[in-house]
Amino acid sequence: MYPVRVLTLLILCFMLAGHVVPLAAEGQPDIVGLSLGITLSEAEQKIKAADPAFEIKALKDKSGTVCGYEACRTDKKSMTMTGPRLEEQIIVLAGKNGLVNTVARSQQQPADSGLLPETLDAALREKYGEPSLQRVQKWDRIMAWAHDSNGNPIKDISPYLARPSDKPQQPSSWGSVALSRLTEAHMLAPKKLPQDGGTLILARFGLKSPGGSPDATMRVTAFSVSMFDMAALYADTVADKEDQTRRQREQYEKDKANKPTL
């Protein structure tokens, strides 16, 4: 028999991976079996395999091209002002090369019987290793894992870690609604992207005291995990700037050639 603590960690790791655990790319970090660098088609199939109850819809960029997917699972027996209670949300976004550069997932927990923060903390360490950074506040906790393009831990990740009030960078490949989706789900995104690339994983969980009692044990009411291919996102932001410069130059040349009739 497993000791209670080991059994608890196994259950939590199973929850972090999803109801059915799909295979991720070997040696690559994943969220619900979704790893960076896969195609959108592969991502859609993995989401369906994780839980058939997910309602999946496409996210599109300004040109109407599918740039990602948003999957939601709701509790239709529990209604809110806006509809069924949202239990889980997954967002997958691809770059200009068509490969996934962003995976994010959030889950809601019962306010009176949610996970203990130390249990979730241990499960995240079990899955992703020791965090590069951790910020602990009374009602909010953030954990981050960052590695450079060679897989070495990044010692100082504070320049890349956005606080909840910061506005992250948004490459055009994310589409017009992607960033708002991440924000609404309390998912964190990079504040800045390093030129040498690497991978950034951000976990955030909100805490609440059941019944509002100051003496009650704090519980996790919601948590999210986001994963980013910083090299791919940086390449897309550079391409965006180059494209903007090209269009400005073309417009200037067009305006310059538009001579008045005197």
Distance (Å, rounded) from C-alpha 69 to C-alpha 74? 16
The CA distance from 185 to 156, in Å, is 26
Q: For residue 152, give both structure tokens.
A: 């070495």
The pLDDT value recorded for residue 14 is 39
Confidence class for position 261, pLDDT limits 50, 70, 90: confident
What predicted TM-score, i.e. pTM, was given to this entire model? 0.75
Check pLDDT > 50 for residue 146.
yes
pLDDT score of 117 more than 70:
yes
Q: Residue 196, Cβ neighbours under 10 Å: how many?
A: 11
Q: How confident is the model at residue 7 (pLDDT cuts 50, 70, 90)?
A: very low
For the cut 60, the answer to whether the pLDDT of residue 256 exceeds it is yes
Query: Quick one: pLDDT band at residue 24, thresholds 50, 70, 90?
Result: very low
User: What does 70-135 look like in DSSP terms, one character per residue?
Assistant: EEEEEEEEEEETTEEEEEEEEEEEE-TTSBEEEEEEEEE--TTT-B-HHHHHHHHHHHH-S-SEEE
Q: Which pLDDT does position 1 carry in this prediction?
A: 42
Tokens of 198: 């690497």
